[in-house]
Amino acid sequence: MADILYTYKHQVYANITNKCDCRCTFCIRSHEDTVGDAETLWHKTDPALEEITGAMDAFDFTGFDELVYCGYGEPTCALDNLIASAKYARQKYGVRIRVNTNGLANLYHQKDIIPLLSEAVDAVSISLNAPTAEAYDKVTRPQFDGAFDALLQFASRCEEYIPDVRLTIVDVLPPDEIDACQKLADSLGVTLRIRKYA
């Protein structure tokens, strides 16, 4: 089985699914099988809840105050296991929970999952990637129509329920697109984080 928990740059991550409803042109999955100290992040089948909590029990959380759901897939595609295991980790190991997401969960599940998500997570980091629907579709190649608008609605709704919400882009976007993303984030009342491209 692939690694469920792995560490990278002094941070611990949970890799709970390989499902994803995007095919981003830049996705690390297309050119690497692993990140950090994981042997592989490709699951033969997605782990069951007991396997995820078992991996948590086998991990030494000393020195880690946050667990980030981010692996070779979109964590909210495994919503039930995400919520149940995040509650487990928070209660048993006292860690803060962050989810790195493509922000399409409401579209994927065809319902508003945010009240449920807010019961289990402290922070959400949403990949904005681009300032327009056209540019977004080109770079993320989502499975569903209307993904960009769904992402914006998701971010805005998260802001109502979850204490720490960020939209993220990378610093390789042209300055005019970075400005447009900033304006978009401001209009939603959500913080924009500009990440260094690794």
Residues of the shown chain interacting with ligand SF4 in the complex, contacts defined by CB under 6 A: 20, 22-24, 27, 29, 73-74, 102, 140
Our CB check for ligand SF4 shows the closer of 35 and 185 to be 35
**Residue 159 Cβ, how far from ligand SF4 at the closest point, in Å?**
21
Residues 6+ apart with CB under 8 A from 57: none
Sign of CA dihedral 120, 67, 108, 40: negative
**Residue 92 Cβ, how far from ligand SF4 at the closest point, in Å?**
27
**Residue 28 Cβ, how far from ligand SF4 at the closest point, in Å?**
7
Our CB check for ligand SF4 shows the closer of 29 and 96 to be 29
Q: Which residue has the tokens 């019961």?
A: 119
The amino acid at residue 67 is: L
Whole-Å CA distances, 142 to 127, 150, 168, 181: 13, 11, 17, 19
Q: Which of 125, 132, 120 is nearest to 173 (CA)?
A: 132
Our CB check for ligand SF4 shows the closer of 60 and 134 to be 134
**Residue 62 Cβ, how far from ligand SF4 at the closest point, in Å?**
29
